[in-house]
Amino acid sequence: MLKIGISACFFHADPNRAIFKGMTLQYIEQNVAHWLMQREVLAFMVPSPDGATRRPGSRATVDAYADELDGLLLMGGSDVCPATYHEVPLRPEWNGDGVRDDYEIALLRAFVAQGKPVLGVCRGAQIINVAQGGTLYQDIATQRPDALNHRNWAIYEQNCHATALIAATPLAKLYPGTSLVKTNSIHHQAIKDPGRELVVEAWSEPDRMVEALRWTGGSYLFGVQWHPEFHDPTDRSFVDDTPILDNFIAVAANHKAAAYAL
């Protein structure tokens, strides 16, 4: 079975938290793991190797995880810190999580260096963009007041919009004969300026916010702004996300087979 790593979300130390007082927590949302495990996949959370409590002599590094795993999924979560893309937060509450940014960018680069596939979901797509030198809208409503409402807390994953697949891109080729799909929308930040060697493969309609982008470099590095793991597979009005999953898994399997053949 393939072994796919999932980057961790962070709850940083909080002396006022009711559980694990003053401790840093790292976790994943179970739908992400279950989405991967539809296929012949073992999902593993990848804890950050760094931190104040790192034990002397530990040999766990992002490179070691990239050695052992067959692919990486960067999951959603907290805001990306504007400082990570060389901006100042427009509001204090948009300062994001720079610690997690550094960890995920290092993890991404370790997998890319080995030619192993990386799939980004929501924040994960934004991290891919920032890692390649791109920028983000810190808050869509503030910086793009003409845009759709891309996050509605009250209905959360039921908030949705139309997404256009850009013709002739690898994403569009996964959906032959389809140009417009329905996706969920759970984000207040978004990709602004695409980074180096990144090509936009989908955008929301009618406001054209980036919904998918792909690296044109030497390995699979692809991100979607929506949450495929939150789509109800029985609701046929939403896009079928399994072609994206199967493509990611196929790339991981092919890379593993090629490595064994050497």
Q: Which residues are catalytic?
A: 122, 227, 229
Long-range contacts of range 79-86, CB-CB < 8 Å, 24 or more positions apart? 79/123, 79/138, 79/188, 79/189, 80/123, 80/126, 80/127, 80/130, 80/136, 80/189, 82/136, 82/138, 84/130, 85/130, 85/133, 85/134, 85/135, 85/136
Residues 6+ apart with CB under 8 A from 153: none
Q: Cα(126)–Cα(140) distance, rounded to whole angstroms?
A: 13
Q: Cα(118)–Cα(5) distance, rounded to whole angstroms?
A: 9
CA–CA distance from 53 to each of 25, 58, 146, 239 (Å)?
12, 11, 46, 43
Q: Cα(164)–Cα(149) distance, rounded to whole angstroms?
A: 17
Residue type, 31: N
In the block, which residue shows the tokens 């040999």?
A: 59
Q: Of how many residues is the chain composed? A: 262
Q: Cα(248)–Cα(44) distance, rounded to whole angstroms?
A: 16
Geometric angle at alpha carbon 127, from 45 and 72, rounded to 5°: 35
